Structure 1
Amino acid sequence: MALADHFRELRGRLMRSLAVFLVLLIVSFFFYDRLLDLVMNPYNDARKALGADVQTKAYIKGATGPLMLNLKLCSMAALVVSAPFWLYQIWAFILPGLHSNEKRWTRVFVAIAGPLFLGGVGVGYYVLPKGLEVLIGFTPSGLDNLVEFGEYFSFLTRMLLVFGIAFEIPLFVVLLNLAGVVKGSTLGQHRSWIIVGTFIFAAVATPSTDPISMLFLAVPMTGLFIFSEVIARTIDRRRGRSAAEAALDDDTASPL
């Protein structure tokens, strides 16, 4: 295919993705109240847990704040819901240039990466109220804590993205093993340091400073890493048996 044809195909896929996004954006306006409740639930749970010890209240800043809140929230919802479509468009654009074995592993990656990311986002949403409770709990007595929604929404999205991306790391470890870059035995030799690095990463990556959020990120990541090490060792053993069988076949076929 000529370069111009590639650009036309890319433009077509981008336009289709944009059209789906705009349709979902319009639909999301009708569910604005439910989306707002979904986003505010972690903050409301944290406020209930704090009780009368800390007075906190969420607010919207500026005359254009309510409109920007509506657009930002609905745009994020449309982007997330349309993700399967525009991710497929990216994959379909790249797919013709891949070999058959690369296509197979790409399908495996797509099948596993999505559930892992959603699992990480779910864990992040579950621990978010505790993180907010700890952070807002530092408010000195006699002072009220005012939470600007724009900053809160940015904090929430960062938290969920960190958890979602972190859950993808073991998958990349397996892919590196399949590519022959990392061996399972090497992972086992450095397991203790990798676990320490995982906890350090969790402490630095989580936007909140409470140990609960760090543990909820570090413990599943550690479990997923150990699971990926087991898979890597299994792949190495199979690869070793295949190489031994191939060498034996060569020796058998060679003339005496």
Structure 2
Amino acid sequence: MSESKAEPDAEMPLVAHLTELRSRLLRCVIAIFIVFAGLFYFAQDIYTIVSAPLRAYLPEGATMIATGVASPFLTPFKLTAWCALFLAIPIILHQVWGFIAPGLYKHEKRIAMPLLVSSILLFYGGMAFAYFLVFPLIFHFFASVTPEGVAMMTDINEYLDFVLTLFFAFGVAFEIPVATFLVIWVGVVDIATLKKSRPYVIVGCFVVGMILTPPDIFSQTLLAVPMWMLFEVGLLFGGLVRKRSEHEPDDDAGDQPPATLP
């Protein structure tokens, strides 16, 4: 019988697991609060930066408006809270990793950490893509189709809800390589099947682009093509890992199962 190369973690009682979970959740909340406290002083400046893509295309003399009594305070406050959450994502994922890592096999740990890091970078990349490339196109289109005699004066809270939705949508869309890699690595779908499904994936990317962008072919293509390219990147890395695992000995053949609850 081969000797184990990764000793299993000692079993922990349910109470110990719950205590650790509570501790890590508390650290996540504290991290978000600290980041929020550091950003709160700059709440108005942050909103000014986020609203810049729209204000650049407002008609001369037009401004954004606040229809709610407390909107001038609450809207930047809400934006700052979301910024704190987004910026604290690395800390949150680090706490998640610390909680689940003891229950993973050695080869799973080698894959999980790069996936966590790449997920963070891709999410931030999707948000940056939306802000610098998509927002200018969208707001230019909206400004160009405003009917004559109608003043384009957007409410600050509605604008914030709109851009937060797009930030989240593009951030999630840029996770396609990670999702593609995972389904290949886990064995849910093989690479050959995904390659045969490529035409459907391309159509799906353009459908998503049509839903999330204004009804012009340029904006739709600007989202659909990167999504397709990201899918191909996921296929590439999924294939490399499969090939590597086929030619390497199983380092974890003697691993004991991860610790389980009694």
TM-score by length of 2: 0.82
Cα pair 1:32 1:74 within 8 Å, conserved: yes
Counterpart selection for 2:167 from 140, 147, 160:
160
Cα pair 2:178 2:234 within 8 Å, conserved: yes
Residue 141 and residue 116 in structure 1: after superposition, are their counterparts in 2 closer, same or farther (change >3 A)?
same
Counterpart selection for 1:200 from 207, 210, 225:
207
The one-letter code matched in structure 2 to 1:113 is S
Question: Which structure 2 residue ranges, 5 or more long, are not aligned?
Answer: 1-11, 250-262
DSSP 3-state at the match of 2:46: helix
1:117 is matched with: 123
Alpha-carbon RMSD: 2.1
Counterpart selection for 1:142 from 137, 146, 149:
149
1:100 is matched with: 106
1:145-183 Cα shifts (integer Å, max 9, x gaps): 221111100111111111111111122111111112222
CA distance in 2, matches of 1:240, 1:87: 30
1:32 is matched with: 43
How many residue pairs were aligned?
Answer: 237
DSSP 3-state at the match of 1:57: coil
Cα pair 2:205 2:228 within 8 Å, conserved: yes
Cα pair 2:126 2:171 within 8 Å, conserved: yes
Higher relative contact order (CA 8 A, sep 6+): 2
2:193 is matched with: 186
Question: Which structure 1 residue ranges, 5 or more long, are not aligned?
Answer: 244-256
Counterpart selection for 2:53 from 39, 42, 45:
42
The one-letter code matched in structure 2 to 1:79 is L
Counterpart selection for 2:229 from 216, 220, 223:
223
CA distance in 2, matches of 1:237, 1:184: 11
1:30-72 Cα shifts (integer Å, max 9, x gaps): 222331221111112232xxx55xx743111222112212321
CA distance in 2, matches of 1:210, 1:162: 19
1:246 is matched with: none
Q: CA deviation at 1:124?
A: 0.7
1:85 has 2:69 as partner: no
Residue 236 and residue 79 in structure 1: after superposition, are their counterparts in 2 closer, same or farther (change >3 A)?
closer
| Runs of 4+ residues deviating >6 angstroms | none
Indicate the structure with greater helix content.
Answer: 1
Residue 21 and residue 226 in structure 1: after superposition, are their counterparts in 2 closer, same or farther (change >3 A)?
closer
Residue 219 and residue 57 in structure 1: after superposition, are their counterparts in 2 closer, same or farther (change >3 A)?
same
1:193-238 Cα shifts (integer Å, max 9, x gaps): 221121112222x154444332221111111222323333444444
Cα pair 1:123 1:216 within 8 Å, conserved: no
